[in-house]
Structure 1
Amino acid sequence: MKYIPLLLICALISCTPGKKQQTSTTETNGVAVINLSENISDASSLPLSDAVAKVEFVCLEATNEALTAGIHLVQVTDHDIWIAHYKDNRILRFSRSGKFLNMVGNIGQGPGEYVTLGEFLIDENHKEVYIVGGGILVYDFEGNFKRNVIGYNHYNKFAAAYTQHVLFENNFFIAQNIALYRPVPKDSLWSFALVDSCFHLKKMFKNPVHKGREEGIIKNCAQMNYFANYWKEDLTNIDTYGSQLTLKYPDTDTIYRYDVAHESLSPQYSIFTKEEKGDYEQTHLWFRERKAFDYFSISSYYPSKDYVYLAGSKGDKVLTYCYNKQDGTVREQKRQGKIKERQVPWFNIPLRRIERPFVLDNDLLGGEFTVDYRSAGKYWIDVLEPFSEDNWIDIGRIKATKAKDEAKKKELVEALENVGEESNPIVLIATLK
C-alpha cells in the first residue's frame, strides 16, 4: 500500500489500496501537493527563525501551590501561561512573566470539583476555562466555579479511548481516535465532529482511511474484561495557525481545512510519496512486531507563514520535512531515533514505541527547540523540566552555537545554570511569524 494523495478521488474518501499516483506537479485540482519523493534536498540545519519571529524564555515562579514537576498540558495566551500538572490533576495560571497567579478548580467529588483531568480549553473571549474529564466543568480565570455542562458524559458520548477537544472561533470540536473500548454501529465510527455549546454532536466527519475497515476496527477494539492486543492509532493532528482550523487524520495523505461558514472540510495540502506504509493491522496493533516500524509514517504537521513542516519516521530514523509554500521545494532532515521496548509481564511481545519529536535548530537563542505544545494559533512551546532526562536541554550546546541574540542567549544560559531542586520548569515560547 502506498502513501498517495487522497483528494484525487474526492475530499473525504480513501485511496484505493495498491495504486500509485505518478505526479511531480506542485498542484492538483487547485490543491498544493507536498511531494516527498522528488527534488528533495538534504538539510543539515532547519533554523527556527524560518518560521518564528522571536523566542522568549519564562522561568515559572515556584511557590508551595505552584510546584509543577510533571507537566501534562500547556497553553499560552497573550497574557497567561496555563499548566496542567500530572501528579495532582491541577491547573495553574501564571502571567507571561512567570508569576504564579492562581489555581483553577478543586480536586474532589463535590459540586464544582473534578476527579480526573483529561484536557482543558481556554476561552479568551469569555474569560473561561473548560476542564474536560468524565464531564465538563467551567471556571472563570480566577479559578471560581461557574457551571457544569449539563448532559455531557464522556463514556456515553465516545467509543474511543483517545479524544481531543478544540475551541476555535467560538465553535467547539471533538476528535476521537481508535482504540475503541466498546463496539459501535458501523455507521457511527466518526473521527471529527462539530458540537454545540452543550457538546451535543452537530456534524460528524470520518477518517477516510477507516472507510471499508469499520468492521475490522470494531472487531479489534480493546476488551475491557480481559487483556488482549488491539488496534490503536496516533492522535488527529489539529492546528489553528493563521486563524484557520486545519487537521490531518492519522494515516491519511491530506491536510484538511475547516470552513466555519459552511461547516465543511476541504483539502488544503496533499502529501505524495512512493514510500510504503505497510499492512494496516501490522502497523496498528498496540503491541507491534519490530518490522512494523520499518515503514514510512508522517505523524504530524506544523504550518507557518512560509513553510509547512512534517514530522515522521522510517525505521529508527526521525524525519523532518520543510515544504516551501512559494516554490514547492522540500528540505529533509534526518535524526537518529530509538525504538524503545518495554516488557509487560502478561504479554509475550514487548511494547514498542518510537518518539517523533519536531525539533528545529534554535538559531535565535542557541541549542535546539523541541515543539512540545502549540497554542492560540501562534505559539510553539518548549518546556524545559529541571533534571528530566527527556525534557531538559544541553547547556553546553547552547553555549557552543551562535545565536542571533547573544545577549538573550547569555541570560538563558544563566537561568539554566541557576536551576535547583525546587525550581519550576523554564518555558520557551516561540511566536510564529
Structure 2
Amino acid sequence: MKKRKFPIIKSCFLLAIIITVACSSDEKKNSVIKPEKQERIENVNLIDNTDNIAEAFYLSDIVDSIEIVQLEINPNHLFTEDRINNLFLTDNDIFFYETKSGLLKYNRLGEFQQQIGKIGKGPGEYLLIRNYYVDETHQTITAYLNWKGKLVSYDFEGKLLAEVKPPLLSGIKGYSGFYRLGNYHLAEHFPAFSEETADTSQVFNFVVADSLFHEIKTLTDPSYKNYKQDILDNKYDPWDSWANFYQIDPPRLKFRDTYMDLMYPGNDTIYRLTHKLQTELRYIVNTGKKMPFEMLHLRLPPLEYFDYLSLLDFEETANYLFIDFAWKKNFYKARFQKSTGQVDMLKKPCEIQEKFLSGRLYTRRRDGKKPSFTDDMLGTGEFRHQWTNQQNWICAIPAYKLLELDLDSLKKAEVKQPSVRDKLVQKIQNIKETDGPILLVAHLKNAQSSTTNH
C-alpha cells in the first residue's frame, strides 16, 4: 500500500479550502445557549392536548410525491438496511456508511458506484467513522474518525484530499463527533460527570471553531447552571451495578442548509443556531410539571420518572412541527399546525421495563412501538422516516418486509400516486429476500432547494 503523507500545516490549509474560507475568530465566547434574536417564538401546548387524538397523520399532508429507489447489493460490499448509517442524498448520488463495507456511493437509480476511501489503519483509511458530511457544491465528503481523532476528506470519486487531526479545544480529552455549519466546525462533546467535570461552566455539548480550528464559543445546555453539588453527590460508581450515574444524553440535532435546530433532553425549548452563529429561540413547549433536574440524569430512574412528560424528538416541515414524546405508559406523536396553533396527536401504549445494558448495569425504559405516519401515497402501511434533509424524508424497507405485503390489497388501494405504486408492485413481484432494500424518498411540500447535506 502506497503511503501518502499530509503535513499538518498543509493539510489544515487544504481542508480549510475544501470546507470554505476561514472565518473571524474574535467573536465573543458564549458557554450557555442565549437567544440573540426573537423574530419568531411559537408556544406549543402538549400537556393540555393529550386527549386530542387524531385518526391518522397522512403522508400526503406533508409530501408532494414519493420516489422509489432500490439499492443493488454489490458482492464486495454487503449490507442490510438496519446497518445503514447517516444516509445522504444529493441531486445525483446517494451516500451511506456501513461499518463492515465502509462509506459507499450509489447513483439515484440505486446502482453501486464505488467505495469512498478504504477500511484499514493506513493514511486516509478508517476502521470506524463516527459521522461525516457531504458538500455537494464542492463535491467533497469529510468524515470524522473518532478512534483516530481525525478529519479525513475525499472527493466524490473517492480520492483522498486531506487528513487532519484537529486540536483539542476547551481542555477536553476528545470529541464524539464533528459537524459543519456554514464556515464553522461544530465539535461535539459528551461529558460524563465526575469531580473533574463538576464545574458546570465546563459541561458543554459543542465547541464552535472556524475552519482553521480557532475556538469561537461553546454551546451548553442551560439547565446545568448552578447544579455543581448535585452532580458531585450523584457521580458514577462503576462498581455498583445499581448506582445512579449523572450522565448527559446528546441533544437532538437537525442540520439544514443554513442552520441547525437542537433540543436538549429534559428541556422544553427548541433552539436554532444559524450559519452566522446567531442563536434563536424557536419553540417553547408546555410539558406540564417539570421533571426534577436530578431525576432526569439518573441511569436507573425511579418509577416516578415516567409520570413526567418527556420530549424525545422533533421534525419540522413548512406547515407543521411534529414532536415525539412519552408520558406515563404511552408514546405520542404531536402535530402543531403553524398557521392556527392547533395541536393534535397520535397515541400508542407502551410498557415500562428494566433493561440490561452491559456487565451488571441496568436501566429502566419505555418499550413499545411509537406512532408513525400513514402512507396514503403508495399504500405501504406505516411510513417511518430514518433520515431527513431540507427537502426529503427517507425510509428503507427491507426485501423481506416487502415480501410480507399483501399485493392484492396494495394493487386495489386508493392512493395518491397510483403509477408509482404500480412500479413498486412490479419491483416486489421480482424481488428476492437477499436483494437490497427499497428507499422511499418522500419529497416535502414547499421545500427549499438544497446544495449541502449534513
Q: Displacement, 1:63?
A: 1.3
Instruction: Please give the TM-score of this superposition, normalised by the length of structure 2.
Output: 0.77
The aligned runs of 1:325-364 (5 Å cut-off) are 325-339=338-352, 341-343=354-356, 346-347=359-360, 349=362, 352=365, 354=367, 359-364=372-377
3-state SS of paired residue (1:107): coil
Q: Provide the residue aligned with 1:79 in structure 2.
A: 92
Q: Does 1:90 align with 2:102?
A: yes
Structure 2 counterpart of 1:139, from 125, 146, 154: 154
**Counterpart AA for 1:165:** F
Residue 209 (str. 1) matches residue 219 (str. 2): no
Partner of 2:113: 101
Aligned counterparts, 1:354-433, within 5 A: 354=367, 359-366=372-379, 367-375=381-389, 377-387=390-400, 395-396=405-406, 399=410, 401-433=413-445
Compare 105-114 and 180-189 and name the one that shifted more. 180-189
Shift of 1:61: 1.1
> Structure 1 residues 224, 54: CA separation in 2 closer, same or farther (over 3 Å shift)?
farther
Structure 1 gap ranges (5+): 1-10, 15-27
8 Å Cα contact 2:377-2:417 kept in structure 1: yes
Deviation at 1:339, TM superposition (A): 4.5
For residue 34 of structure 1, what is the aligned residue in structure 2? 44
**Contiguous gaps of at least 5 residues in structure 2:** 1-31, 446-454
SS at match of 1:106: coil
Contact persistence 2:177–2:187 (CA under 8 A):
yes
| Residue 58 of structure 1: aligned partner | 69
Q: What SS does the corresponding residue of 1:245 show, helix, strand or coil?
A: strand
Superposition deviation, residue 155 in structure 1: 12
Structure 2 matches for 1:259-274, cutoff 5 A? 259-261=274-276, 263-274=277-288
Distance in 1, matches of 2:403 and 2:85, equals 19
Query: Aligned pair in 2 of structure 1 residues 342, 186: CA closer, same or farther (>3 Å)?
Result: closer
Cα separation, 1, equivalents of 2:232 and 2:404: 45
User: In the superposition, relative to structure 1, how do residues 92 and 218 fare at CA in structure 2: closer, same or farther (>3 Å)?
Assistant: farther
Provide the rounded CA distance (Å) in 2 between the counterparts of 1:345 and 1:380: 34
- Hey, what does 2:266 align to over in structure 1? 251
Match of 2:138 among 115, 120, 126: 126
Confirm or deny: 8 A CA contact 2:132 2:179 kept in the other structure: no
User: What is the Cα deviation at residue 34 of structure 1?
Assistant: 1.1
Instruction: Quote the residue 1:286 is aligned against.
Output: 299
Q: 2:251 aligns with which of 213, 230, 236?
A: 236
1:314 to 2:335 alignment: no
Query: Do 2:107 and 2:113's aligned partners in 1 also have CA atoms closer than 8 Å?
Result: yes
> In 1, are the aligned partners of 2:236 and 2:245 still within 8 Å (CA)?
yes
Given that residues 344 and 351 in structure 1 are in contact (C-alpha distance below 8 angstroms), is that contact kept between their aligned partners in structure 2?
no
Q: Give CA deviations for 1:357-401 in whole Å, capped at 9, x if unaligned.
A: 5721111112121121113x222111223447xxx7962497275
Taking structure 1 as reference, are residues 83 and 313 closer, same or farther at Cα in structure 2, changes over 3 Å only? Answer: same
Deviation sequence 1:58-106 (CA, Å, 0-9, x none)? 10011113322122321212221111113x1611111111011111111
2:55 matched to 1:44? yes
Comparing 349-358 with 122-131, which one deviates more in the overlay?
Answer: 349-358
- 1:348 Cα deviation after fit: 6.9
Q: How far did 1:287 drift?
A: 3.5
What is the CA–CA distance in structure 1 between the aligned matches of 2:213 and 2:238, rounded to whole Å? 26
Please tell me whether the aligned partners of residues 311 and 356 of structure 1 are also in contact (alpha carbons under 8 angstroms): no
Cα displacement (A) at 1:218: 6.5
Amino acid in the other structure paired with 1:247: L
- Asked if the contact 2:266–2:296 (Cα under 8 Å) also holds between the matched residues in 1, the reply is no
1: CA distance, partners of 2:174 / 2:305: 26
Counterpart check, 1:298 vs 2:311: yes
Distance 2:55 2:157 in 1: 46
More strand per residue: 1
Please report how far the alpha carbon of residue 151 of structure 1 lies from its aligned counterpart in structure 2 after TM superposition: 3.1
Q: What secondary structure sits across from 2:189 in the alignment?
A: strand
CA contact (8 A) 1:358 1:371 kept: no
CA distance 1:194–1:286, change in 2 (3 Å): same
Tell me, yes or no, if the aligned pair for 1:159 and 1:183 is still in contact at 8 Å: no
Report the count of equivalent residues.
401
The structure 1 residue matched to 2:125, chosen from 101, 113, 116, is 113
Distance change >3 Å, CA 296–CA 126, structure 1 → 2: same
What residue in structure 1 maps to residue 210 of structure 2? 196
**CA contact under 8 A between 1:186 and 1:215: conserved in structure 2?**
no
Percent same amino acid at aligned positions? 25
Q: Give 1:113 shift.
A: 1.1
